[in-house]
């Protein structure tokens, strides 16, 4: 693999990054202690937003992503997150979760470094 090839960041990355920070603060949840998890999930949300027009949960398998976007159940924040504060992706964690950090804000530069 050529190290000079730069990983392309999805167009919606900034929007999903900002959304994630605002939502974490609003819900009193925290990002994963492993920042690479946060980076990859935000990237996945951004890719889905770019392709499908909605931030479909990137941590699940779908037979038909277009139909899943239309159903809205797994669009972030998904129904389990909104109703029970359960995030399968480990993007939004309660403070008592063993994998929760104390962070609700992370720099874009830090996140992007995990995606290269």
Hey, which residues are catalytic here?
59
- Dig out the tokens for 48 from the structure: 């889905």
Determine if residue 32 is labeled as part of a ligand binding site: no
Residue appearing with tokens 């931030």: 55
* 76 annotated binding-site participant: yes
**Residue 6 annotated as binding site:** no
Distances (CA, A) of 19 to 4, 60, 67, 103: 30, 20, 23, 14
Q: Which two tokens stand for residue 95?
A: 């403070």
Point out the annotated binding site: 57, 76, 78, 87
């Amino acid at each position: 693999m050529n190290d000079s090839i730069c990983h392309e960041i999805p167009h919606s990355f900034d929007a999903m990054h900002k959304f994630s920070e605002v939502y974490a603060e609003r819900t009193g949840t925290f990002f994963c202690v492993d920042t690479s998890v946060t980076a990859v999930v935000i990237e996945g949300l951004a890719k889905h937003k770019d392709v499908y027009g909605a931030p479909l949960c990137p941590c699940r398998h779908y037979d038909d992503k277009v139909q899943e976007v239309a159903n809205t159940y797994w669009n972030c924040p998904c129904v389990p997150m909104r109703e029970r504060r359960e995030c399968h992706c480990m993007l939004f964690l309660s403070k008592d979760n063993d994998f929760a950090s104390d962070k609700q804000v992370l720099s874009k530069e830090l996140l992007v470094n995990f995606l290269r």
